[in-house]
A and B are shown apart, each in its own frame.
Chain A
Amino acid sequence: MPLPRSIAVVSPRYPDGVTVGGAETLLRRLAERLAARGLDVTFLATCARNHFTWANECPADVRRIHNVEVRRFPVNTDRDPALFLARQSAICRGETLTRAEQAEWLRHSVNSDTLLEHLRAESVRYERILAGPYLFGLVWSVASAFPDRTILTPCLHDEAFARQELIGEMLRSVRGCLFNTEPERELAIRLHGPEAGRGVVVGMGIEPFEADARAFAARRGLTAPYVFYCGRREAGKGTPLLTDYLDVFRARTGRDIALVCAGSGPLDAKPFVHDAGFLSETEKREALAGAVAFVHPSTLESLGIVLLESFTAGVPALVHAAGAVLRWQCARSGGGLWFRHYPDFEAELELLLERPDLRHAMGERARAFVRREYSWDAVERRLFGALEEL
C-alpha cells in the first residue's frame, strides 16, 4: 500500500513546552518526522493545557511549527465534569459499568465537536488519522467516527480504564495500532483479543547526546551522590514510594544519597529530596548523566521516554518489577535492574553504589541498545513500514 500523502494527528493537548505528557510528546515527534519526509501533516488538538480541568486556555488558532500545521479547537463546554468523575471513580473502584455508562464517561471526558467537524469537512484531505492516547473521549470520538482511516497510538496501560468494553471495541475497529513496545501490544491482546493487537511496534526516536556529568551537581550545590526521577510526581507514578524507600535506605544503610526530582506535582519535603522543578533539555541531560541511577517506580508506562534518555546518558536504571514495559526495556537492554519491594530496592541500589564498574558496564550496554533500537532511523523504518502496512 502506498504511503498516505496527508495525515491528521489528533491528541487532546499539543505539547508546547508548558504542557507535559509522554503520549502527546510522542505524537508531536512522530508528526514532525512525517512532515520532514514531505507528508502533509496537521496536528489537531484542543485549547486545553490542564488535564484535570480541560479549561480552554490557549487560543483556537492555526500555527506552523516545525513544518507541521498545528490547529487548536475549543473543548466542548457542555461536558459534565461531575458525571465524568462519578463514572471514572466507579471504574477505579472496579465496578462494572454498562455500555451507556461507559459512553457517558467518554462523552463527558475531553471532547471537541469543532475538531470533529473539521475532520468531517476535510475528509478528502486526510487519508489517515493518527490518534492517541486511548483513554480520552476525543480519541474515542474520532476513532468511532472514522474507524477506517484511524490508526491509534494507544499508549495502553494495565489499568481499569483499559478494560472497558468500549475501549476494546475501539481497538478492534480501527485500521490498526502503533504500539510503543511489545508488552503494550501483548496487553492489548490479553485484554481485548487478537484483533486488538493488529498493528506495529514503533516507539519514538531518542536523540543521542553527550552531557557533562558534574555540571548539574556543581550548579545546584549537590555534594552527595544522587538518584534521579523525572516526570509527573503523583501516586500513580510511584513517587511517594520512591521518597519512602530512599528515606528508609538512608536510615538503614547510613549512606548519604539524595533524590533529585524533576517535573511537576507535589513532593514530600524531606531534607534529602532536591526538587529540581522543570528542567531545560540541557539541564535534564546533565542531571541524568551525573546520577548514580535513574529510578522509575511507575507501573503504568507504555514506552518510558526518560528511561531511554537515561540509557542514552549511559546511566543504569532501577524500575519496579510490576511495570511490564520498563522491566522489558531493562531486561532486553541490559541497562537496568528491577525490584519487587524494598528489600530488593535496597540490595540493588547498594550494589550500584558499591560497583561503579557495574554501573559503567550497564550504562554502556544501555547506550548501545538505544542507538540500535531507538535511533530515529530505526524508528522511521518501523513508522513508514507501519503506514504502508496499515
Chain B
Amino acid sequence: MKEVSYKKLKGSQNLRQRLLLSTLSSTPILIEDIRADATWPGLLSHEVSFLRLLETVSDDCHLEINETGTKLKYKPGIVMGGRYLEHDCGLSRSIGYFLEPLIVLCLFGKKPLSIKLKGITNDSKDPSVDTFRSTTLPLLKRFGVPSDGLELKIESRGVAPKGGGEVTLSVPIIHNSLKAVTWTDEGMVKRIRGISFSTRVSVQFENTMIHAARGIFNRLLPDVHIFTDHKAGAQAGNSPGYGISLVAETTSGCFISVDTTISYPRGNDDMDIDEKKELMPPGEVGEEIASLLLGEIEQGGVIDSTHQGLLFLLCALCPQDVSKVRVGKLVPYGIQTLRNIKDFLGVNFVIKPEPATGTVMLKCTGSGLTNLSRKLS
C-alpha cells in the first residue's frame, strides 16, 4: 500500500541509540557497513541480543539482517511493554547496556513493563545495576516519570565472564509526555553513599575497598556510608568478582555516580586460573573509584558524565518547552547522542560553555513527543 522509506545510516557506532530513537520517532532505518572491514564482520552477539529485546517489548517490528550481518533493516513497531517478560542478555555485554535504552523506550509503551533480564549485572564497561538504582532512576523522576512502578530489583549478581546475574526491571508508562526541566543548580555535595559487592570471593575484599575509599572522602565529608552486599550461593552468579558503586548526593538533589567492577576478562576460559593476569587489588580499586568520584564532582554539572547522553535524550523528548541543563565537560557519548537526536528528532541544542565554572550549559526545546501508543481509557 505504502512503500516504506528507510532512513539510511552507515557504520556500527551508536547502534543502540539509533535503534532507540528510530523506535521512538517511528522512523524505519537501514544501516549499512556494519563492521564490514572488521575481522568479525557484522553485528556482534550483544547487538543481536538487543534487537531481540526490542522484538520482545514491541509489537510488529520488522528486522532484516543480511547474511554477513553487515546490513540491518529495522522497521519499528509499537512499544507494548507487558508483564513477566524475560530476556537473556548474553555474556558479551552487561545488563547495563540493555537497561539504558529500555527504560527510555518503555516509558512510551502501551502497558507498563516488567521484565527479567539475565546476564552480567556488573561490568567495568557499562554502568552497573547499582548505579541504575541510585542515579538513573532518580534522573527519570525529575522528568515527571511517576515513581511508583519504576523499580530495579537485583535478584542475583553475576560478573564476567560467566554471568549468572538476574535483575527485574519495571518501568511505568507516561500518560502524556515528560516534563521539561530547568536544572542548572548542581548544589554542594552533602552525602556520599555507595554499595560494594562481591561474588564468589571473600567479603574481606569489600571491606578493603570501602576502607580505602573512605580514607579519601574522610578529609572532605563525614557523611559517607558504603554498604556491603556480599552474595553467596545461587545469588552470586557463576564467576568471582567484586566491585563498588558510589554516588554523591548534592544539596539540590543531583546524583553523581561512578562505579567499577573487577573480574576476570572474557574469552580465556581455556587458560588456567593461575595463568590469568593479576587483578587489581581491592585497596587500589577503592582509592581509584573515590578519586574518580571526586573528579566527577570537580567537573560540576548536575549529572555525571556517564549519564549525559540519557539526560540529553530526555530533554529532547520533552514537550515543546525549553529545557536547560548544566553538565561538566561534554563526553564523546554525549556528543554522539546530540547528533543522533538531531538526526532523528530534529532537536537542536544550544551549547554554551561557562569558562568560570568549567561547565557547559545546554538548552533545547523538546520534540513534543507524546505517548501515542497508550490506550485511551
Are A and B co-members of a single complex?
no
B residues contacting A by CB (< 8 A) are: none
A residues contacting B by CB (< 8 A) are: none
